[in-house]
Structure 1
Amino acid sequence: FLSSVPSLCVFFGDERASDIILTHLNTYLNDTDWMLKCAFFKAIVGVAIYIGGAGLEDFILPLMIQALADPQDFVVEQALRSLASMAELGLLHRSKTWELIDVVARFELHPNVWIKEAAVHFVCAATTYLSVADVRILVTPLIQPFLKVPLSTLSESELLDALRKPLPKGVLDLALEWAKRVDRGIFWKSARESKQLSYHATTRMPPTSSVADLGPRALARTPKNDEDEQWLGRLRNAGMTQEDEMKILAFREYLWRAAQRMKKEGRTDQDSLFEDVISLTRLDITPQTIIFDNDVQAYQERAKDQDLSERSIAEALEEAAGPQKDQSFKRLSLTGIPDRDAAGGLAVTSETSHPIDTQPRRLSGVKKQASGSLSSSPSSAMGLLGERGARSKPSAAGLISGSETRNKALPAVATADATAAGKLDTPHVRSARNSPGPQSRPRVPERARSRRAVHSYAGNDPTVLKLLDAVYVDSFPVDAAEFGPMIQPFKRGHIASSTNNISGPWHPQGQLLAVLGEHTAKISRIVVAPDHAFFLTASDDGTVKVWDSSRLERNVTHRSRHTYKLAPGAKATSLCFVENTHTFACTASDGMIHVVKIDVAESANTTKYGKIRLLRDWQMPTSSPGKEYAVWSEHYRGDTASTLVLATNLGRILSIDLRSTLIMFELHVQPQHGSPASFCTGRKRDWLLVGTTRGVLELWDLRFRVRLKSWAMPSAIPVTRLQLYPARGSKKRDRVCISGGTAAGEITVWSIEKGICYEAYRPMNTKGAERMTSRGYELKNLDDERPDGQLSRVAGSVAADPNLSGATNTMSPHLTPMYFGAQQEENDRDDSNVFAVSGGPDGRVRFWDCDHLQGCRMISGEKTTPDEQLPKYTYSMLGLDTRVLSEKSSDADGMAESAIESNKIASNAAATGPVSAKRSTGGAARSGGPKPSRYDAIRLSAQNLLDGHLDTITDVAVLERPFGMVLSADRAGQVFVHQ
């Protein structure tokens, strides 16, 4: 009815519309339904246009001003929107405009964003027909008390930016509760007598703001008693500041009137229909639990049928507007459906009909519908295929023009109209006749009969069956169907050692076990399978190789089990496993993304590998003219999606659903921060931290897809690795391990929440000791920095670092790959022994025990000369929070008493065989005796030549099966395995 009120005004005329329509509409506001009130204010604008200024000022405006004190925020917002519409139409007189602006301006500080924006909209709309002088002299003083800075022009965007902070929602709700429960207080006495929200505000010219005298000390001058002081104390405890005191006074009449309406309408005792929770037990409804089977074959069949039944909006519009296109289905309906012969029976359909063979799924649904029985199978006409597969619908346009009826009647219209009319109701007629004999009944495929068994629903409701089919397809774990089976991650405990007589946490002994040299170019990534049965290596030679873990111990010569080759000329840029599966995702430099599955079957003593299967390969969509490819990738599984997150060289973060290979969303790193080099996600997948090539960290909220913060690391060195700290304690849960952004070879542990560095692992500096300062471990907030500040920081770091200024290759000279792991204690699962493995720019691989100095050691590249002594490790503190674990040479001055010599296996030759014996010989030569000859020096230095990397280390990893091993790869394409 309310939508037709303007038409009724035209019908009754000016005089009778004011007498009849307005008096009738006023009764709608007596109802407590807020939706009815909102509909009233939407319709009142059209009435105001017709009845003119007199009826508007005498009847409509008083009702709208009173509605501003409604306890429901939706009503207040809609009343403000209607006032703004009237102001834009020029229905308000100038004198009334000042009064309305003075009343509405206080709502610009309302905590509800919709009310705040509606108030700003009205203030700006009220100045539509005012001159610049009127705005400056008359309007600006009315809104000035609510602004933090003066305005140059009165536009919505500028006004929203210039407003003070709104009153906190908790403070407003507590003040509303105070107004409802006032007893002896005198604070609200002036609100009872105020008439500002009764459309009788100031009439002076020039108008003055009703809150102009509410200064910082206005609340102190307001009369109060002990009860009021107690409530004010509660407001201050709820978060009210001195700045908010003026806002409470501005909203005092609004709060008082809203509280009185709430008491009158009884909103505290009973909620509205839409705010109430419907109880199924109160309605005597017993929920039924449906259990789905984890059948991969059934899921694949359902998914195919869902694809056949779904159509896009574009296809539906094209079918409705265009000619009939589904000719194959039309032929199917003519040749595939058994037709009734002259005797009333059913003619047997030939099994060699080509239309039937080409579309078997649609045919099965049509046959069931033609037989007259309502099948309970999800593949029936009302099941998975829906109505589209149940009957032939030539087009929507044909339904409007009646072409469907004519098409059905055409074969019989020339002979007998009665027969044609009978065929139109064939489903009802067929259901009343006897079933045909077995020899003439169409045979139902066995697959269609067995597809009902995917869930435990025993009913025959076609709507429920269709819903269950849709839920089954949407919620089925596709990872188990395509990328699976799901692999149980390796149990986190003490890592097994190659020598069983060692108790306690695992520490690598530094013995070279194998050198894998099949790659011919730089190895960019090493990833270990979730169950540590094998590991993968990706290289610039365009291959990804699969290495069996168990064969590293048994075999003397080592060969990869599988090799996956990319396109010719393409390099592998990133690599990751699909979470808890043996399927990996690899990206190439040509922009291609490959998802490959490795079939692994383990028996008692051996592991069998099947063929590599390519599951997905598609080109990364890009709109940039340059070549775009992924530089880092991670995968995680959610409740409804299998998400692959990619960081590209052009500054994009892509979130891709592997089920449909569609981009769910994309984020853009700021260009001045550099291009992404690495990233990591939170444990709950609610945030993402990106490290860039200019030493910048960007924190993103994945729930709202907004950038929260940006920090600059102490140095503009690329952040090449990011990893969550493996300890799961509450204090260390959100800490992140970072490689890059500090001194060469260092790895650090930071708290993202506080921006504090808690741990730093500092290797020995071969060029002399660098002085450590607390400023070297502080993050700089870039949100408050000038635009040219980042450029000057990068330029200063490059000029100060000769390695950066003279570098001509694409690889960072300070690349420090790292891996953090944890070994859980058997007695206490919350306690874990955290360790780190790093590969420094000096070609050495180090093992850091985060809690025990005696566990730290070098794994490879320990000596460059025979006279070099083993390093020592010491703790130190920088400030109150940062703990630094430093590696120093044995002859360094000022060594702390806590420094413990690295327990390299050279000190125990009998336990580790001939290699240890040789190292022990070298240690004896250092400790004393005559100086070795030149021949002995060359021989001793050659012993360790093949034990370490001769090129830059590019990645490290830890393999825990069959025992603990450290994997390290370099730019020459070699992988070293140490135990």
Structure 2
Amino acid sequence: MGNQLAGIAPSQILSVESYFSDIHDFEYDKSLGSTRFFKVARAKHREGLVVVKVFAIQDPTLPLTSYKQELEELKIRLHSAQNCLPFQKAVEKASEKAAMLFRQYVRDNLYDRISTRPFLNNIEKRWIAFQILTAVEQAHKSGVRHGDIKTENVMVTSWNWVLLTDFASFKPTYLPEDNPADFNYFFDTSRRRTCYIAPERFVDGGLFATELEYMRDPSTPLVDLNSNQRTRGELKRAMDIFSAGCVIAELFTEGVPLFDLSQLLAYRNGQFFPEQVLNKIEDRSIRELVTQMIHREPDKRLEAEDYLKQQRGNAFPEIFYTFLQPYMAQFAKETFLSADERVLVIRKDLGNIIHNLCGHDLPEKAEGEPKESGLVILVSVITSCLQTLKYCDSKLAALELILHLAPKLSVEILLDRITPYLLHFSNDSVPRVRAEALRTLTKVLALVKEVPRNDVNIYPEYILPGIAHLAQDDATIVRLAYAENIALLAETALRFLELVQLKNLNMENDPNSEEIDEVTHPNGNYDTELQALHEMVQQKVVTLLSDPENIVKQTLMENGITRLCVFFGRQKANDVLLSHMITFLNDKNDWHLRGAFFDSIVGVAAYVGWQSSSILKPLLQQGLSDAEEFVIVKALNALTCMCQLALLQKPHVYEFASDIAPFLCHPNLWIRYGAVGFITVVAHQISIADVYCKLMPYLDPYITQPIIQIERKLVLLSVLKEPVSRSIFDYALRSKDITSLFRHLHMRQKKRSGSLPDCPPPEDPAIAQLLKKLLSQGMTEEEEDKLLALKDFMMKSHKAKANIVDQSHLHDSSQKGVIDLAALGITGRQVDLVKTRQEPDDKRARKHVKQDSNVNEEWKSMFGSLEPPNIPQGLPKGSDQEAIQAGKPPRSESSAGICAPLSTSPQVSEVTNVQNRKPTIQVLSSTILPSTYQIRITTCKTELQQLLQQKREQCNAERIAKQMMENAEWESKPPPPGWRPKGLLVAHLHEHKSAVNRIQVSDEHSLFATCSNDGTVKIWNSQKMEGKTTTTRSILTYSRIGGRVKTLTFCQGSHYLAIASDNGAVQLLGIEASKLPKSPKIHPLQSRFWDLAYPERSYVVAGSTSSPSVSYYRKIIEGTEVVQEIQNKQKAGPSDDAPRRGPESLPVGHHDIITDVATFQTTQGFIVTASRDGIVKVWK
């Protein structure tokens, strides 16, 4: 038979690449190996990578059409099976005499995955075994038998989703037991001689019948080697169960197969049992499951569904059935097309996930698996997406997920599964991602409490070199994150080293340990490793302490500088840390950095010891005379803490006490409190004799009476004299010739004490003027004494401020507080808030898309591209997972971004497009699709669109309000028939001090009103315009509304005037007209204050505010808070705003823009005009 098979070899052997010559949709990529049965290659398709299997036709009479129809039917049947991946396409090429099968490419099969790092743990193996049985159950329920289940045909994605592929219905069911040629030709594609075929499929070769016998009895198996036909017979479910059992056994024995061909034939005859291999399966439930599945008698094997029910809660945890399988299945559907979407969905469901996976105990038979181990399966989904994430928001969400899950994961998972991806993110193109990855990495490593044997050198060889470049990153935010976390990183690295050393010592002391030489280092190497670690961290710390940005240095000091001291030891803490920190006080422009020095110096000094007192003394004195009072407060607090810790020598303490005592009269309350705190601590530290002999003399000038309990803060505070006035202090400190001022004040003090008979006035007129100014601000003799007590401090502070001003003139070329966006290279984006009508053919939209290439790359990373979604049709199932496996983006990433608009119509069309995909979309669950299908758009872009929408609505509301105000038409009396304006100016009124915005005439034309930007409303008597009076001025002025009065109107048929201001207030004024000599009065009847941004904050004030006797009552009227005024009626006083008298001669015409025009009618017609310069003119 072997000769016969060799004799039918083709006369011409073609390479697999040659078969792609006339297939345009597929491009050959590389060969995946070839056997005598199939040539296998990987090809590129527009929807992803595919596997192509080429069968060279040797016999043209082969019924390939029937096989092709069988594969098409099988594909339709398995359409709803989420764990099955059948051939998607079959092509017969007559020219090359070949048949080609196509299916989606998956990078790893189970055989490869078993031996690939990170190795599968127990819960992952159970999960894969569960899915294998689930896949077999799905296929059997669909009426399909596989026929060739083996580890090479069980594909595993990067997130541990199992796909059963290469269904072999065209391969023979039965094989001759006495000839291995058929087995080698069809089934031993790996050439490992492993055998997964059920024993009942091997039959005696003499029992095979001829084709003629088959025609007479179709139930008889048929094989005719001469015509290259293969055995026909129906595959049984029990045959697939046996093969699946062999695969599961190999999974749990780390790749050790149960049978090779000879062992299986011996097992078939009862001469062999794989007990030795089965005993390697530690879990008893799995071992019993495999034993049942590989039973020699087919009738003793159960269905896949029965095994799943039998092992529920035993081999397979309950959570597989209730949560994991249905939840993970949604990621295998076509709805989720990108890694970004998967991460965002998991973040949204994180609370429910943790509740399900950590809220229930796994079965006791999980044999040592931690309670939280179910999360490992979810972690594999997250990590499979990390390298293909596109958007910054998705990457940050993934890091957030890792940080939430890390405390619930084992050490091996953190080091083997999480840490490599965090280091990958530390090289991301987006600075925010790099910074957050470093923070997450630090927190994750801090959770590791024990070090596995294979990770003993993870810090010096992997982690620290992997993040070393971040200390010199171009982005300040990244260096900031490094400075923020380097102390904790160093502390964790030292703990790792100590754990390793402790483990080495324990193993050396253990007489049963046989692995000392393999996993441990000599004791002498500990010091060498520690020194190497110190050098690595020291290099980065020095880099950060020398960073050009002060905020980086400040962050380093504020985040664990004391822990770095402990890490380095006393000598290096003094030589490395303290020596660099001292230089920070030289920066006179950044008081935050100087303040951070004094906040951090206590911890460093405490670790270095009292020997540093002499070094720190001048630095602390410099802090007490700093130009910034916040720094002085911090220096006082540092001195207080150091005194408490006995880090100051006694002579230094008394010297500081003499410097700090004058601060008891400093105008800054915090400085006075800091001084009191230091003095009370000193009183605690020294003896009573020293308190009264050395400390009390410093305090006497600043306390009102002697005290005993100086160590009590409240007692000392209660007897302090009043501090110097802030205005006097600041004025004296800002004076240019402060030295001469203090010289003169000192002479005045000597005169008061009798030391000098007389104090002549200062010769310098500037000092005389300065002294006069200080005396006018209330400077008394006691204030002079306090200023003289603060003389040394003020002189040093004045000098420090002068230096700061000089340096600022040298270094600051730009105006303070002004940011030059052009100089920073920021790309501006402009959006029209007023929408215009879009052209029917959407030319503008297409033009906008074409401009996408000019968008800044960082904007693209945050907001995505502007291209519309491009969703291909007829997509093979799950191709996104396989594209990720192959290191290429999934098909949803073929366009620059999937950013659908927020309107409903594109979404509906896209959903319709999804539903039209045939035949795969028909099986999507109606309960999953609406909840999980999302518009593919980044969160940043959504927020940007929401902001634009809000701004458009705000702009539209303002435009409508402005339009309503401008277009408002009010009823007015028509002029008399035949009246024509003569152009004569009868009044020139210029009482308004700013632009006049509106003129309104009352219905009976007896009054007209004007409002202006000067915040006033003026009422004018129309009758005075007829020339009956000698002066023409307003009869009423109202100015209590506040803001700029933009509009006003008379209520119809009344003397009620409604006015509105740009501060949101609307008031209703009642004008009481009266006959002379009485003057009319204005009563503000009602004010309604509207807050357009927060309508619920609006309120109404009712009543008059001009009355001297007013009481208020609050109540709610129709949901509005009303404040009602109850008052005693009194006569209104004269107007506060006295009008200005007009000029004697009236100029004709306006000299600025006319803002409003109105007419009124008395005995004759008049025209009133107003201009922007506040002038009102009356014409007739």
By percentage of residues, which structure has more helix? 2
Decide: shared fold, TM above 0.5.
no
TM score, norm. by length of structure 2:
0.30
Rg comparison, structure with higher value: 2
By percentage of residues, which structure has more strand? 1
